[in-house]
Structure 1
C-alpha cells in the first residue's frame, strides 16, 4: 500500500553525533573520522542497496568520496555543539521496482536539493525479510548545513543583519557594539522549504503512479488538513515492525493498535449524533441560567460556537466528540474551575521539568559509562598486542609487528589514555561501572514511564485551556462591542 513518510532531523555534536559515523552507517561502509580519530565500520550492515554522492557544479570534485566529504564538514565545524548536517528519512513505494525507486529518489534530489547548491549523500535501504524485516524500502539523505561558495570553499551558515534606526544608522547597545540579527544564508532550514520538498516528493510519486496506471496516491498533508475524520498512526520503522512480526510488543505497535481502536470508536460515535445534539440543547439551556461559568460550561459554549460554523453533520459530530472527551477527562481529574485548571497545569509542568532534568542527567551519565566500558574492551583486547610489542627488542621487527597490528594498537593506546585517570592500584572499577549502568538504566526507564502519562495529560489540559481562552476572548469582544454601542447611544 502506498505511503508517505518524509522525516528530517539534524546531525549535531551536542547530541553526541558524528557526521562521518552517520554517513558510514547509512552507506554500510567503513569510514575514518579525523576529528575523533576513530573508525566507524558498518560493512556488515545488511539491506544497503546503493549509495551515492551528488554535487553541485561548484563543489570540489574530491567530495564525491564520502570519507573526504564528511571529514571536510567535520573540519569546517569547530564548535563542540555544532550542527553538522540535515538528515532525511524518506519512504519509497512498494508498487515501484527498486530501479524505479532509485531513479525517482535521484531525480528528486537533483531537482530539489542539488539545484539549490546543496551537497547530497544518499543511500537506499531495503531490510531483508529473512532477517525479520518487512518490505519497507526507504532512502536516507545527508546534506551539510554549511553551504559551499562558488569558489568551492565552505561558506557561512548565518550573516549579520544590522538593526537600523529611523535615520538608517546602525544602532549601538549599552556596551557600544552594533546590534544585529543572525540571519540564515540559505532557506534550507525553513518550514516553507521543508513543506515544498514534502509536496514535491508526493507529486513526483503520484506522477509515477499515474504513469504506471495505478490508482494509488500519497499525500504530504496531515489527516486534519485533508479533511479526513480519523487519527493518524505513527511511523513504526523497520526495527519495530521486525519485532512485532516476531510477536514482540512495542510501544509504537501498542500506540497504533490503540489509535485503530479509537478510530473504530469514532465511527460508532457518529450513530449517536442525534442523542448528542439533544444533550447539547440541554447544556445550552443550563448555560442561560445566571451562574459563574465552570469549565464544563465554557467547553460546551466552545462546542456550540464551532457548530454554528459547521456545514455538515460530520463536522458537528467531530466537535461533539471532542467536547465529550474533554468533559470526561476533566471529571476524571476533578477539575471544575479555570483556577483549578491553571493550578494543575502549573504543578504538572513543574513536575515534568524536574523529571526531565533528572532523566537527562542519568542519560548523560549512562553515555559516559558506556564509553568507559567500550574503552575497557579496547584496552583488554589490545593489551596482549601492546605487551608483545614491548618485548620485541630489534627495531626492524618492532616496526614490522607495529605495522601489522596498527589498528589494534591505535585503539589500545586511545583506550589507555582515556582510562588512565580511572586506574586505582592498577585496576579499573569495571564491575562498579556495569552495576552503575544497570541501575541508571532502570531509573531512567522508571522516569520515562512516569513522564509518559504526564505528557499525555498536560497535552490534553493545554488543548482545553486554549479552547476556554477562545470562548473568554470572544465574550470579552462581544461585551466591548455592547459597551461601545451603549456609549454611542447615550451621547
Structure 2
C-alpha cells in the first residue's frame, strides 16, 4: 500500500503567517509582501522539482500579483488569506508522472471551487525518507477571475472557507464533507495515475483501523523536530516513533504470516469451488452418458491429453451458447440440403417436361405446333413453373450459403475469442483437476463393474458346478441301483424257487409216475 496523505490547513494572519511568504517558500521564489513590505527570497532553496499556477479560466497569472492580491482582498487582522493542501506523491511514479498528477488535482480544485491554485513539488531530503515526494498546493480563499484588462479580480469566499450555516443553505452538510470529498478526489486521481503507470500498488484514504490494519500510527514530528533528527540528535518524539515502528514491524511480520495462511485457505477454497463447478458442468453437459463410465473415462483422458488448448475448448463447448450456435448452423445446413433437394426435383421436372414437349414437336408438323393440344400446353405451363421454382430455389440457396459462410466465420471468431478469454485462465486448471478426478472415479466404477462381473461369473460357475455334481451323483446312484437290480435278477435265475407250503412228497411223485396197468404176457 502506497502512502496516502492529503492534509489541509489555512494560512491565517492570526498565526502571524502570510500567503506571500508561504508561496515564496514553497515555490523557491523571491516575493515582496506589499502589505508588510517584507521581502521573502527563497531562490536558493533546494529540492523544488516543479511549480505552477492554475486559474479557473485557464489564463494563469504572476505569483507575486496573485498572493499580494489575495492579501489585499482581506481586511480583517485574523483573516485567512490562503489554504494549503499537503499531498504525498507516490514514489512509484516518475517526476513527470508526479507533476501531471499534481496539475490534474490542482485543476480539479480550481474548477470545483473557482479558486486560483499555486502548486510546488518537492523531492525528498538527502538525509530523509527517499520516498517522501510531496506537493504543496496553495489555493486562494476567494474565487478568482480576470477582468477585461486581464487583471485579477477576487470575488466571494470559496466554499471551503464558508461557515457550516452558509454551506447548509447550498445543500452541503458541513465543511468537513467538502474536505472528505477532496481527500476522496486525491485518492481516485492518485490510484488512476498508478494504474496508468502499470503499478499494482494503491493509496487508501481510510484510517488504519478502518482498513482493518493493526498498526499504531506514528506521531507527527513537525519541521523543527524533524530537522534535529536529521542532524542526528535524538528527540522524545523520534524515540517514540522508533519504538512504534519496531512494534509495527513485529505486528507486520505476524500479520503477514496470518495473511499468507488466509490467502492459502482462500486459494484452496477457490480451487475446491472451481473444481466442483467444473466437475458439475462437465457431467451436466454429458447427462445422457453418465452411466457409460468407459466412454466418460475415454473422453476425459483425451481432453486431458490435449493440454490447455483442449481443456479451454472443452469448457467453451459445454456452454449453452456453443450449443445454440452450433444448433443454428446445423439447422441452416439442413435447410440448404432440403432446398438443394427441391432444386434437383424442379430441374428433373423441367427436363422431363421439355423432353416430352420436344418429342411431340418432332412428331407433328409446323402448323400443328402452332396449336398444341391441351396436354402439351399443360406441360409447357409445368415447365415454366419448374423454371420459376428453379430461380426461386437458386436465389434462396445463394442467400443461405452466404449466410452460412458468414455464420461459420462469426462462430469461429467467437469460439477463438472465448477459448482465449482471460476468464478461462483459472477455469482450465480447475477443469484439469475435475477431469482427472472424473477419470479416477470412472476407473473405480469400471473396476467395481469388472469385480461384480467376475463375481457373477464365479457364482454362475459354482452354480453350474453344483448342478453338474448333482447330476453326476444322481447318475451314480441310478447306476448303482441298476447294478443291484441285475445282481438280484442273476441270483433268481440260478437258484430254484423255494418249496411252497402245499407241495406233495417226492415219493408221491414216484407213485404217481408208476404205471400199474397190466402188461402183455402176465
TM-score (norm 2): 0.42
Higher Rg of the two aligned structures: 2
